[in-house]
């Protein structure tokens, strides 16, 4: 192995902490490449980052391409951090490699040396290359958002890559997760010129062209201004950059940022009582929104800006959330309309959701003649399913999603003389969004474009598509999540069997209800989701299920008593 190149203060296992002090690889803890890579308290992350850097270098060498590693813990509290590998296509890491990652990270200090060496040998053998080969295009792009633990972890990733013999490393500090995905994709694509601003330009060039062509010239309901909660994360550095465009003076968009700390306070307040996850979970305004007038369009990103939700309070003072399901529905309405106008019957259109999708959103898609596919939580599961359609719309209810397009679609929208207007609008829409991965900021511009196209206020959007069936979500701290096993769509527990039986009994006592328990892949918690006929009943049912968990595996805090 390339041990000589490893910086002195990193052992081969990568077990050094922030200050350069020795920090042993935790032997008594099992780590898992979860829903979105490894995500743990940042002081546990150094050796993981090192080993992931190593694995990413093997991936890059075996494919002779650029591979990305993003350092982020997204919507998690500031004390956490994480790493995930981005494939040369810009997509999530392949399943087999996730297993390799888990194996490498769980090896102890002595095992790691041996395992790293045998892994390198077998991977290179499979690709038909000599073990030491380092192909020219093998490179690692390391990205990070604004967490203050990130610079150190980026170094650990770089050292890991060096250990895996890849010395070509580019750093993208203060980038959003989706931007790094796009940059990795674009760099690997022959004939696609790219620079650090490529994701921004792609979105805004198409956005301004789209709004120039919108059918309603006299806007009655849509107002081109909104307030964006940046979760005190990396989005605060980027949103206004997207408006830095020559057409902004002709078609001004007025965006006010909130929770946009960029200094030390950013880390202290990152995702704290703000951001897309907070708004979705608590269905309430984030901090700093007290004096916002009713009917004002507001949106929230999460810490690494890959999620987006909208919200407002209506004239009766009721808080209304427009989450990922509502964004998917808005996209579907627009896309179907363009296909209808074009009479393009042979392009398939599909929707992919998870068990957390609001029941009424799935019913809405059925009313459009689309049976939504339900897959397990995590973009890594939604994205590939979405790619089975010519136009695949996928969203997690929490606001993470995008639209994917097939080769047939790209052929269809290819520019030709005298293109009909709906074809141009389809083409522009496909350029506004980041079709490589869900992107909070690109989705924000896509939503704004469509609202303008229909000349809708946020109230129109909330009332003209569907309204949510009441739902509630709870997070329960849980140490050993491995005792839970769910069905592939995650709506039922296979283990512990007895718990599913008790859940069924409670669900049957509520009207129009459903509920499930699922272990989180990103936090040491289990999640409870419930739907029922009223908000109160949904919450009541969720707490009932929490009591079921507590009865079987006592929860370390008091649950509210329920009648």
Ligand X SMILES: CC(=O)N[C@H]1[C@@H](OP(=O)(O)O)O[C@H](CO)[C@@H](O)[C@@H]1O
533 labelled binding-site residue? no
Could you give the CA distance from residue 208 to residue 198 in angstroms, rounded to a whole number?
Answer: 16
What is the DSSP code (8-state) at residue 542?
H
Answer for the pair 325, 344: CB distance below 8 angstroms, yes or no: no
Given candidates 38, 521, 539, 540, which one binds ligand X under the rule CB under 6 A?
521
Which residues, numbered 330-359, are part of the site for ligand X (CB under 6 A)?
356
Tokens of 186: 């674009």
Q: Is 113 annotated as a binding residue?
A: no
Q: Are 176 and 238 in contact (CB under 8 A)?
A: yes
List the one residue from 288, 342, 520, 547 that touches ligand X (CB under 6 A).
520
Window 522-541: residues binding ligand X (CB under 6 A):
522-523, 527
Any contact of residue 378 with ligand X (CB under 6 A)?
Answer: yes
Tokens 């707490």 sit on residue: 543
Helices 95-106 & 109-126, crossing angle to 10 degrees? Answer: 150
Q: Which of ligand X, Mg ion, none does residue 304 bind (CB under 5 to 8 Å by kind)?
A: Mg ion
Q: How far is the CB of 557 from ligand X (least distance, A)?
A: 19
Contact 389, 324 (CB under 8 A): no
Pick from 186, 203, 440, 436: nearest CA to 303: 440
The yes or no reply on residue 304 touching Mg ion (CB under 5 A) is yes
Which residue is listed with tokens 């950059």?
A: 241
Contact call for residue 379 and ligand X (CB under 6 A): yes
> Applying CB under 6 A, which of residues 10, 13, 25, 35 lies at the interface with ligand X?
35
Establish if 437 lies at the interface with ligand X (CB under 6 A). no
260 binds Mg ion (CB under 5 A): no
Query: Count of residues binding Mg ion (CB under 5 A)?
Result: 4
41 vs 459, which CB is nearer to Mg ion? 41
- Least Å from the CB of residue 525 to ligand X: 7
- Contact letters for ligand X, residues 390-409 (x by CB under 6 A): ------x-x-x---------
Residue 299 in contact with ligand X, rule: CB under 6 A: no
Based on its alpha-carbon atoms, the radius of gyration of the chain, rounded to whole angstroms, reads: 24
Q: Which of 141, 145, 140, 197 is nearest to 175 (CA)?
A: 145
Q: Give the nearest residue (CB) to Mg ion.
A: 74
- What is the Cα–Cα distance from 485 to 189, expressed in whole angstroms? 39
Q: Can 57 be counted among the known catalytic residues?
A: no
Cα atoms found within 13 Å of the Cα of residue 485, Cβ hemisphere only: 6
Q: Is 422 annotated as a binding residue?
A: no
Active-site entry in 57, 74, 457, 471:
74
Q: Which is nearer to ligand X, 36 or 503 (CB)?
A: 36
* Residues 381, 91 contacting (CB under 8 angstroms): no
**β-strand pairing of 391-395 with 349-353:** parallel
Name the residue nearer to ligand X (CB basis): 226 or 379. Answer: 379
Residue whose C-alpha is closest to residue 18's, from 152, 156, 159: 152
Q: Reduced to 3 states, what is the DSSP secondary structure of residue 229?
A: strand
Cβ 352 to ligand X shortest distance, Å: 13
Provide the annotated active-site residues.
Answer: 74
User: Residues forming the annotated binding site for substrate?
Assistant: 396-398, 518-522, 527
Binding site for ligand X (CB under 6 A): 35-36, 74, 356, 377-379, 396, 398, 400, 520-523, 527
User: Residues forming the annotated binding site for Mg(2+)?
Assistant: 74, 302, 304, 306
């Amino acid at each position: 192995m390339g041990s000589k190149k490893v910086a002195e203060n990193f052992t081969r296992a990568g077990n050094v902490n922030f200050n350069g002090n020795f920090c042993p690889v935790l032997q008594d803890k099992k780590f898992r490449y979860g829903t979105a890579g490894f995500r743990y308290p940042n002081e546990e992350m150094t050796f993981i980052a090192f080993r992931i850097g190593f694995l990413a270098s093997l991936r890059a060498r075996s494919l002779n391409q650029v591979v990305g590693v993003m350092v982020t813990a997204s919507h998690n509290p500031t004390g956490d951090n994480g790493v995930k590998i981005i494939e040369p296509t810009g997509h999530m890491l392949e399943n087999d490699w996730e297993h390799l990652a888990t194996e490498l990270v769980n090896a102890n200090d002595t095992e790691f040396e041996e395992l790293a060496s045998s892994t390198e040998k077998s991977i290179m053998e499979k690709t038909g290359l000599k073990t030491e080969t380092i192909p020219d295009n093998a490179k690692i792009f390391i990205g990070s958002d604004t967490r203050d633990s990130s610079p150190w972890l980026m170094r650990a990733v770089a050292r890991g890559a060096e250990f895996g013999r890849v010395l070509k490393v580019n750093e993208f500090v203060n980038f959003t997760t989706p931007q790094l995905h796009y940059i990795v994709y674009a760099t690997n694509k022959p004939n696609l010129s790219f620079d650090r601003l490529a994701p921004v330009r792609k979105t805004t060039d198409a956005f301004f062209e789209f709004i120039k062509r919108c059918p309603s010239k006299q806007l009655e309901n849509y107002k081109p201004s909104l307030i964006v909660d940046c979760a005190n994360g990396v989005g605060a550095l980027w949103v206004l950059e997207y408006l830095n465009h020559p057409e902004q003076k002709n078609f001004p968009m007025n965006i006010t940022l909130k929770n946009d700390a960029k200094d030390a306070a950013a880390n202290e307040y990152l995702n704290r009582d703000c951001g897309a996850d907070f708004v979705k979970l608590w269905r309430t305004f984030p901090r700093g929104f007290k004096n916002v007038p009713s009917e004002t369009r507001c949106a929230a990103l999460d810490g690494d800006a890959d999620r987006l939700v909208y919200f407002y309070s209506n004239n009766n003072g009721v808080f209304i959330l427009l989450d990922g399901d509502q964004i998917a529905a808005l996209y579907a309405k627009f896309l179907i309309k363009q296909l209808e106008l074009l009479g393009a019957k042979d392009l398939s259109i599909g929707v992919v959701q998870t068990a957390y999708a609001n029941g009424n959103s799935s019913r809405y898609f059925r009313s459009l003649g689309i049976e939504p596919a339900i897959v397990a939580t995590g973009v890594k599961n939604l994205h590939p399913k979405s790619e089975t359609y010519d136009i695949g719309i996928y969203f997690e209810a929490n606001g993470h999603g995008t639209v994917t397009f097939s080769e047939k679609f790209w052929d269809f929208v290819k520019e030709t003389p005298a293109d009909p207007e709906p074809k141009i609008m389809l083409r522009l829409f496909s350029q506004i969004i980041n079709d490589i991965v869900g992107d909070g900021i690109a989705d924000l511009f896509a939503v704004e474009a469509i609202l303008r196209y229909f000349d809708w206020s946020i109230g129109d959007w909330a009332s003209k598509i569907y309204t949510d069936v009441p739902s509630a979500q709870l997070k329960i701290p849980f140490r050993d999540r491995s005792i839970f096993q769910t069905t592939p769509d995650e709506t039922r527990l296979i283990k512990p069997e007895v718990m599913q039986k008790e859940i069924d009994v409670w669900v049957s006592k509520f009207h129009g209800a459903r509920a499930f328990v699922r272990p989180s892949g990103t936090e040491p918690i289990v999640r409870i989701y419930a739907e029922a006929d009223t908000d109160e009943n949904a919450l009541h049912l969720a707490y009932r299920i929490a009591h079921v968990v507590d009865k079987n595996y006592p929860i370390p805090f008091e649950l509210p008593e329920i009648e």
